[in-house]
Amino acid sequence: MSRFRSIWQASLNATKKALTWNLEDLMPPPERLIFSFNSKEELKKWHLYSDSEYGGLSSASLEISEVDNGLKGTGVFSGNLSVDLAEDSKWNISRGGFCGMRSKKFDGFIDLDSYDTIALKLRGDGRSYISTIYTENWVNSPGQLEDNSWQAFVHVPKDNWYIAKIPLARYLPTWRGNVINAEMEMNQARILGISLSVNAEGGVPGARTGTGDFKVELDWIKAIRTEEYT
């Protein structure tokens, strides 16, 4: 009987170890890299937009920084914000002074349901930038091609590298730049793309505002989990 009990106990312990290993193996990692900005190839995953598409005079560029001693580069999103219109503009826009960089659509979508925070490693100019997450359309205009957008401000301190952490719960649903005044929940399992943009006006208190130059460097964007995964 003692021998049988020993065999049974050994089998039970082995089963517990197997179950523990399987659970750890299936648990998502604590962070997930979404984008890095360390090469020209990585920058090709993004496209630029600005009010110049509607007759405005703002401009933007996205380039890789110059580095020495074998260090990796970073993405540099920079340009000039203007609220003026071109003299020959045929558009009658009510709001100018904006530029942005948006990721090209993923091949399908990415699932961030296991994460609660977006983290960005940045070095900026003291301005507020807008972090936008695009999800599959089921909130604003079902049946149309326009993605749902969720936005949050991120203040980028001047000169020093900074890791901004934005809880996904802080992103607000928006419709063409305006916050939707309703309680809605982001579909984190179907993320189609993200963007980073800057406006001449608005932002968090104390941030630099107004027309003129802007510049922010980007090292990476990740999804992280700050709470215990269940």
Nearest to 127 by CA among 29, 215, 15: 215
Model confidence, pTM: 0.82
Q: Which residues contact 35 (CB under 8 A, 6 or more apart)?
A: 42, 45, 103, 194, 220, 221
Residue 183: per-residue pLDDT: 79
For residues 161-186, average pLDDT: 89
Residue 112: per-residue pLDDT: 95
% helix, strand, coil for the chain, step of 5: 15, 40, 45
Residues 96-127: pLDDT tens digits?
799 999 999 887 889 999 999 999 999 999 99
Indicate the range of 20-29, 33-42, 183-192 predicted with least confidence. Answer: 20-29
Residue 89: per-residue pLDDT: 73
Query: Does residue 53 sit in helix, strand or coil?
Result: helix
DSSP element (H, E) containing 151:
strand 148-155
Residues 47-80: pLDDT tens digits?
999 999 888 999 999 999 977 665 678 999 999 9
Residue 71: per-residue pLDDT: 66
In terms of average pLDDT, the best of 136-140, 177-181, 210-214 is: 210-214
Dihedral sign, CA of 138, 133, 168, 111?
A: positive
- For residue 119, give Cα distances in angstroms to 75, 103, 151, 156, 191: 16, 16, 14, 12, 15
